[in-house]
Amino acid sequence: MTFSGGIHPVGDGKELSCHQAVRTAPLLEKYFVLLAENAGKPPVPVVKKGDKVKKYQLIARADGFVSANLHAPTSGEVGGIVEVPGPMGVPAAAVEIIADGEDAGEPPFEPLLNWESIDPEILKQRVIDAGLVGMGGASFPSHVKLSPPPGKEIDTLILNGAECEPYLTADHRLMFEKPEKVARGAAIFGRILGVRRPVIGVEINKGDAIEALERFEDRFGISVVPLLVRYPQGSEKQLINAVTKRAVRSGGLPMDAGCVVQNVGTAAALSDAVMKGIPLVERIVTVTGDVVFSPGNWKLKLGTPAIEAVKLAGGVTEEPGKLIFGGPMMGFAQKSFEVPVAKNTSGILLLPTGVSVNYEASGCIRCGRCVQGCPMNLMPCLLSTAIEADRFDLAYQNHVMDCMECGSCAYVCPDHRPLVQNIRRAKAELRK
């Protein structure tokens, strides 16, 4: 199965880390837990400088419906609410935790071992209490997707195991090493939504993960769906189209097509929250790149500075030209190695100086490659030309707000036009 449009980046770099088993990072002296780790409103701190905290303790409470709780990744003392380099290029507030070296703390929630017979509302409350968000990158609070408004009938739940971004293999290793946890999480999500047979979509370049998950199909009542390798198949609308052949209307949400999409990492975190009673305080991160000495996958506590993750990978073989949180297509370049790992940090990517593309504002040559590659069936060439002329009205009429900024158009453009940057500018102007 697959969707229409999209691209297949050459030399995806996954071979650098896809065969490296997940390793657990040693305890650090300090962690800087970002407050804004979810889409929507950041949680409100409930600790202050000098407070003693235990591992798993609540340190920031969700502020409203579209918000998520935040918990201490280890035990120690709160150094204060401090400012650190943020993943979006501006300073961000974080809770500094000075570790005591004990990493001590009891699970704050009662395990729900009989989840198959528990009221779905109780399970949904566990999602809220544990601070679960979309761990594929969007960091949208998971409980919001589990609360369809009246009249929205959800008949399909899809777990995103595509991991189509080049270089990233964290989800691959999770599905291969912990398939039972992922499958159970899918089944729990299904019970909350009332969906009988959840689906896990996995690209066929992860054959070992597909085989591992298939062993749990009957036990948990799930279906594993192999997908062709194509970027950006991990995007919600494209994954829905690939699995169900349904289309989400322009400006619509997956719920409009009767679907909900969750990430496999979020499903595994849900399994731990239900079976072990622990909140989300760590995640698997791919630390990789052509200049990384020993690329691999590590289980990192939230608040781990990027520099510490790079040290775990043996450092670098040469001065890196770019540091990216996420993948090379949709990730964000960073200004500092002190940016901490958050709930949605799937990868830390270091690229050499010679691979950066110099985008130019030269004229469009009307080749149509961007139109063929656009998974949203837009015309990036027309949008970009209109935006360069400050015709934001024309861009809006041609559905610029439907662009998900996947970068497929910029990747295939032979003239190196700044298509994504122009579209981001237009969306910002229109929102204003």
CB 85 within 8 A of CB 339: yes
The DSSP code for 363 is P
Which is nearest to 38 in space by CA: 159, 174, 167, 137? 137
Give the CA distances from residue 292 to residues 288, 289, 321, 328, in Å, rounded to whole numbers and listed in that order: 6, 5, 12, 15
Cβ neighbours, 10 Å, residue 54: 17
Question: H helices then E strands: how many in the chain?
Answer: 14, 17
Query: How far apart are alpha carbons 277 and 280 in whole angstroms?
Result: 10
The pLDDT value recorded for residue 137 is 81
Here the contacts of 219-224 (C-beta below 8 Å, separation 24 or greater) are 219/183, 220/183, 220/184, 220/186, 220/187, 221/187, 221/190, 221/196, 221/197, 222/183, 222/186, 222/187, 222/190, 222/197, 222/198, 223/197, 223/198, 223/199, 224/199, 224/200
Strands 296-301 and 199-203: unpaired
The pLDDT value recorded for residue 385 is 95
Tokens linked to 406: 């996947």
Work out the burial of residue 41: count CB atoms within 10 Å of its CB; fewer than 13 is exposed, 13-18 middle, 19 or more buried: middle
Give the CA distances from residue 299 to residues 176, 282, 428, in Å, rounded to whole numbers and listed in that order: 15, 7, 35
Residues in the chain: 432
Query: How far apart are alpha carbons 152 and 149 in whole angstroms?
Result: 6
Query: How far apart are alpha carbons 127 and 217 in whole angstroms?
Result: 23
CB within 8 A of 90, min separation 6: which ones?
A: none
The 3 state secondary structure assigned to 311-359 is: HHCCCECCCCCEEEECCCCCCEECCCCCCECCCCCCEEEEECHHHCCCC
CB 358 within 8 A of CB 176: no
Tokens linked to 232: 């950006």
The pLDDT value recorded for residue 11 is 84
The pLDDT value recorded for residue 260 is 97
Task: Note down pLDDT in tens along the chain; length 432 residues.
Answer: 888 889 988 889 999 999 999 999 999 999 999 999 999 999 999 999 999 999 999 999 999 999 999 999 999 999 999 999 999 989 999 999 999 999 999 999 999 999 999 999 999 999 999 999 999 888 999 999 999 998 889 999 999 999 999 999 999 999 999 999 999 999 999 999 999 999 999 999 999 999 999 999 999 999 999 999 999 999 999 999 999 999 999 888 999 999 999 999 999 999 999 999 999 999 999 999 999 999 999 999 999 999 999 999 999 999 999 999 999 999 999 999 999 999 999 999 999 987 766 777 788 999 999 999 999 999 999 999 999 999 999 999 999 999 999 999 999 999 889 999 999 999 999 999
Q: Coil, strand, or helix at residue 420? A: helix
| Residue ranges of domains in the chain, CATH in brackets | 115-275 (3.40.50.11540), 369-431 (no CATH)
The pLDDT value recorded for residue 363 is 85
127's enclosing H/E stretch is helix 120-129
